[in-house]
Structure 1
Amino acid sequence: MNPRIGMVAGEPSGDLLAASVIEGLRAQAPDCVCAGIGGPAMQAAGFDAWYPMHALTVFGYADAFKRLPGLLSTYFGARNRWLRERPAVFVGVDAPDFNLRLEQRLRQAGVPTVHFVGPSIWAWRYERIHKIRAAVSHMLVLFPFEEEIYRKEGVPVTYVGHPLARRIPLQPDVAGARRALGLDPGARVLALLPGSRASEIRLLGPRFLQAAQRLLQRDPGLVVLVPMVNAQRRAEFEALLRRLPVPGLRLLQGAADAARPVAWDAMEAADAVLAASGTATLEAALFKKPMVISYVLSPAMRRLMEWKSGQARPYVPWVGLPNVLLRDFAVPELLQDEATPAALADAAWRALTDAPYAQDIARRFTALHQDLRRDTPALAARAILEQAGHGAG
């Protein structure tokens, strides 16, 4: 068996997920050939990149519109090549706007299609299920509650767990992380993660820094760790720091190709986390940290999201992934006008100082971690190779 497998990943998180799947595929089908659109992690795993991942990476609607000609060229180039040289199976990793369109066309042409990482239809635009049903032969989902949704809607589905749950240890090494960062083992430490987008730094950064200033009034010895995703975000955050100085704050920036994200060092060393809603909150949960989740949208972006989704708010009452997964407000969410420096500081202070609360959170997050911990590469590869032996379903 020497299956040719088409793959597309359009952003760094998808690149890492796809790379783990390629490793799983090679373990089960050593001669398989994976090619398409991908990033450096996929290429390191032996992927043949026809187009680089950054051909699809866009930041917001304005950037997508500006880059539309290039996106269309990449789409039609990859699509037409796959229609000529049909793969045994196509795997779209996240990037639903691009991949579902491509999957639908390939499936119509008789190519089985697998989509890895379900769009958050449980929160926004449930009607996308109809497009998914038409485009996808088999769905691979990261979270257990998603399996029930797709099964109910008649979409073949496999829950494969979340790869982060295998990469992050069940028992965090707080002392080791503090030694690596040169921190006092007895210090009180807050990891502050304002996000990886310029808009997040602009809208959340000042609130987070003012909250940190308030926390330092309560504990002048508090250490604040702020990991930066790249040099550009760091420069933007440093500009805020000049206006809103926080004594004891340490900026951390790792190498772009580091095997372990620098944010993980900060979270593992911390007593608590103040974070923008997103994947970082799931990572903080896997490190068993009490946290405060926050997010702020500009009025224009909020109107655009409401227009595109037809919703003023998500279907579920929670925004942060840990709360969505636990189906409970296990940790506080301070969003929009509620995200005041005073409210953020009060919630973060409880996370830093309330030991019984932190212990209960650690217990709940440990159970969550165990639930998400699966052999994701092997499970995903098995489902993909099964589809490679089928016609379009």
Structure 2
Amino acid sequence: MKLGLVAGEASGDLLGGLLLAGLRERWPALRSEGIGGPKMIAQGFETWWPHSKLSIFGYVDALLNIRELLAIRKQLGDRLLADKPAAFIGIDAPDFNFGLEERLKQQGIKTIHFVCPSIWAWRAERVEKIKRSADHVLCLFPFEPELLHAHGIGASYVGHPLADAIPLEPPQAAARAAIGLAENETVVALLPGSRRSEIKYIAPPMLGAALLMQQARPGLCFVMPVAPGLREMLAPLVPAGLNLTLLDGRSHEALAACDMTLVASGTATLEAALFKRPMVIAYKVNALNWWRMKGKNYQPWVGLPNVLAREFLVPELIQDQCTAENLAREGLAWLDDPARCTAVQARFAEQHQLLRCNTAQRASDAIAQVIGSA
């Protein structure tokens, strides 16, 4: 069995690694190739370009890198058409993957898109693009297949692989020992994101908030996972005197170890919920990106835990509201209210059970069915 895959950033690589682990159980001699990162490579994946090439966020960054991205997509498509995998799986990264999937589908290669674009949140016009591009969509959330079926798009709910990978009871003591933190410390995890643009726009207010929180509660300590290649960009932003430990990756250990987290909107918010950690969600982009996005959303929530709950379980500080002062205020509010923390942790446990349904097996079953229908 040979499959082509593309994952475009750290979160996609994480999903791809978990998916490949399940696929290799079904097909032990599986060959997989395309674009991916270290999690996928650890599962025997052959990457032709580093996944960091696709770690682009927003319209401005995409425009600045459009020529290189289009060249990579053209060369990748040529190579896949020559290699003829049984199917191609695009993992998230819709702006890159849909064009590639459409080309491959037209040439007779079965195409599967893993992670339904959030058409329920914004950009519903993507439905027609999905229909042209993907033979089947693997959905992480239970309400998504019905939306796609209404437009004649094949889809399966497979749950979220992170819900299988993350234990129902987070190993806080073990994580603290691994990082070198004392059991009795109050720990806040800072997760500004894994893209350079997120470090540019979200890390400064997040680090400023950490300093304000430390001034209000001098015993606090902070941990921040740093994506590969971003330490040099991030280190100069750290305020003098901040009790901060920078970690190379290890975001799951940081979330397991912490008492609460300041976290950038995206997959990390779901990871924080699965680790049952109270959180403040931060989101800030280039002003032009924000102008183009503003008004296109169909619901009031941005963070995945809030979307799943259909209510503001946790605070969201978006764009102009994403300031050091606001983040610090909301972060301290969690630390000062243990009963509120306990209540939100119970809601997160419900979400964990909902999404925990052996995603790797469900996904491999759906992929096998798509390939079998070829």
Change in Cα spacing, 1:157 to 1:342, as seen in structure 2 (3 Å) is: same
User: Aligned letter for 2:23?
Assistant: L
Aligned-partner residue type, residue 247 of structure 2: Q
- Output one character per residue of 1:100-158: Cα deviation in whole Å (capped at 9) or x when no partner: 11222222233221111111212221011011112211110111222222122221111
Q: Which amino acid aligns with 1:291?
A: M
Instruction: Say if 2:187 is the partner of 1:204.
Output: no
Q: Give the aligned partner of residue 289 of structure 2.
A: 301
1:264 is matched with: 252
Shift of 1:63: 4.9
Question: Any gaps of 5 or more consecutive residues in structure 1?
Answer: 255-260
Q: Is it true that 1:359 corresponds to 2:342 in the alignment?
A: yes
Deviations 1:238-265 (A, max 9, x none): 3233xx4344x222222xxxxxx42222
Moved more, 192-201 or 64-73: 64-73
Letter aligned with residue 297 of structure 1: V
Counterpart-to-counterpart distance in 1, 2:10 and 2:192: 18
Distance 1:199 1:88 in 2: 36
1:238 partnered with 2:226:
no
d(CA) in 2 for partners of 1:174, 1:139: 35
The 1:206–1:114 alpha-carbon spacing in structure 2 relative to 1, beyond 3 Å, is closer
- Whole-angstrom distance in 2 between the partners of 1:67 and 1:292: 31
Asked if structure 1 preserves the Cα contact closer than 8 Å seen for 2:274 and 2:348, the reply is: yes
Please say if 1:383 is aligned against 2:366.
yes
Q: Is 1:251 paired with 2:241?
A: no
Partner of 1:4: 2
1:271–1:40 CA distance, 2 compared to 1 (3 A): closer
1:99 to 84, 97, 103: 97
Asked if 1 retains the 8 angstrom alpha-carbon contact of 2:60 and 2:288, the reply is no
Partners of 1:271 and 1:302 lie apart in 2 by 31
Count of aligned pairs: 374
Does residue 342 (structure 1) correspond to residue 325 (structure 2)? The answer is yes
Between the aligned partners of 2:2 and 2:302, the Cα distance in structure 1 is 39
For 2:188 and 2:42, locate their aligned partners in 1 and report how far apart those are by CA, in whole Å: 34
After superposition, the CA RMSD in angstroms is 2.4
Farther off after superposition, 106-115 or 195-204: 195-204
Q: 1:65 to 1:24 in 2, by over 3 A?
A: same
Overall identity of the aligned pairs, in % = 46
Q: Tell me the SS of whatever aligns to 1:34.
A: strand
CA contact (8 A) 1:189 1:269 kept: yes
Q: Alpha-carbon deviations, 1:10-45, whole Å to 9, x = none?
A: 333323322332332222233443333333433332
1:126 aligns with 124
Distance 1:13 1:43 in 2: 14
Deviation larger for 169-178 or 12-21: 12-21
Q: TM (normalized to structure 2)?
A: 0.91
Residues 217-258 of structure 1 show CA distances to partners (whole Å, capped at 9, x for unaligned) of 3322122222222453x33333233xx4344x222222xxxx
Equivalent residue, structure 1, for 2:150? 152
1:313 Cα offset (Å): 4.3
SS in 2 for 1:144: coil
Contact 1:228/1:251 (8 A) holds in 2 = no
Partner of 1:279: 267
Gaps of 5+ in 2: none
- The whole-number CA distance in structure 2 between the counterparts of 1:39 and 1:199 is 19
Aligned match of 1:79: 77
Residues in 1 aligned to 2:117 and 2:319: alpha-carbon distance in whole angstroms? 23
Measure, in 1, the Cα distance between the counterparts of 2:195 and 2:5. 26
CA contact (8 A) 1:191 1:273 kept: yes
Q: Distance between the aligned counterparts of 1:296 and 1:351, measured in 2? A: 22
Query: 1:290, CA displacement in angstroms?
Result: 0.9
The one-letter amino acid of 1:336's match is: Q
Does the 8 Å CA contact 2:57/2:197 hold for their aligned counterparts? no
Compared CA separation, residues 36 and 191, structure 1 to 2 (3 A)? closer
In 1, are the aligned partners of 2:223 and 2:247 still within 8 Å (CA)?
no
Counterpart of 1:184 (choices 177, 182, 185) is 182
Change in CA separation of 1:98 and 1:147 when aligned onto 2, cut-off 3 Å: same
User: Considering only CA atoms, is the larger Rg found in Structure 1 or Structure 2?
Assistant: 1
2:110 — aligned with what? Answer: 112
- Which amino acid in 2 is paired with 1:346? R
Q: Normalising by structure 1, what TM-score?
A: 0.87
**Aligned-pair CA distance for 1:9:** 2.4
In the alignment, structure 1 residue 222 sits paired with structure 2 residue 216: no
The residue type paired with residue 254 of structure 2 is A
- C-alpha contact (below 8 Å) 2:5/2:91 kept by paired residues: yes
1:304-363 per-position Cα deviation (integer Å, ceiling 9, x unaligned): x33xxxx52421110111111111100011122223333222211121121110110110
Residue aligning to 2:279? 291
Taking a change above 3 Å as real, the CA distance of residues 355 and 8 of structure 1, as seen in their structure-2 partners, is same
Structure 2 partner of 1:326 = 309
Aligned letter for 1:319? V
The answer to whether the Cα contact below 8 Å between 2:16 and 2:40 also exists between their aligned partners in 1 is: yes
Moved more, 138-147 or 181-190: 181-190
Aligned to 2:37: 39
1:10-49 superposed matches below 5 A: 10-49=8-47
CA distance in 2, matches of 1:172, 1:338: 31
